Amino acid sequence: MNKSNLKDYIKGWFVGNFDPTLIKTNDVEIGVKEYQAGDYEEFHHHRIATEITCIIKGEVEMNGVRYKQGDMILIEPYEGTDFKAITDAMNVVVKYPGASDDKYIGKYENNIT
């Protein structure tokens, strides 16, 4: 067994093709993300990965819709979202497949972001 701590990983990402990681793979990316009330991530989309976000605690807003503990959001490739923590929050994010350099700021519009 090998013990580590979530704080040992960059922005909570602990499985994927990056360093440090518990499992180095392009198959999937997994992270546990913690946010303070008011934290914001700008609108972005992925062109390869499907992203699943599960709200573990707190309340967040994505694309103007509020989500709370237990809600799961499935975001397909080319769909996009922003993210705002309404309260202190924690979520689990799974991206499948893992895809390096697959985060594009802005909406997808005819291959131009």
The whole-angstrom separation of Cα 82 and Cα 22 is: 28
pLDDT at 106: 86
Strand partners, 36: none
pLDDT tens per residue, the chain (113 residues)? 989 999 999 999 999 999 999 999 999 999 999 999 999 999 999 999 999 999 999 999 999 999 999 999 999 999 999 999 999 999 999 999 998 889 999 877 655 44
> What 8-state DSSP symbol labels residue 11?
G
What's residue 112's pLDDT? 47
Full-model pTM? 0.88
